Amino acid sequence: MDIFQTFIDEIPNLEHRQRFSEVLEHVSKTFPPLQKYFAWNQPMFTIMERSS
């Protein structure tokens, strides 16, 4: 299951839910190195730096 699916399912307006899903999918496919996570109760993407 996608980490953002629960958040997406809670969007009440079906058109907004579909569009938001499309945007998240586009970002995931366009920028595959980005990692998905939640901050401030919002879905986000980031480049996690690895510490040595």
Tally: H helices and E strands in the chain: 2, 2
pLDDT at 44: 95
pLDDT at 21 over 70: yes
Are 11 and 17 contacting, i.e. CB atoms less than 8 angstroms apart? yes
pLDDT at 50 over 70: no
pLDDT at 52 over 60: no
Q: Does a structural domain hold residue 28?
A: yes
Segment 19-38 mean pLDDT: 95
Q: Does a structural domain hold residue 41?
A: yes
pTM: 0.80
Tell me the residue range of the domain where 39 lies: 5-46
CATH number at residue 11: 3.90.1150.200
| Through-space distance between the first and last CA atoms of the chain, rounded to whole angstroms | 31
* DSSP reduced 3-state for 51: coil
Question: What band does 6 get if pLDDT is binned at 50, 70 and 90?
Answer: very high
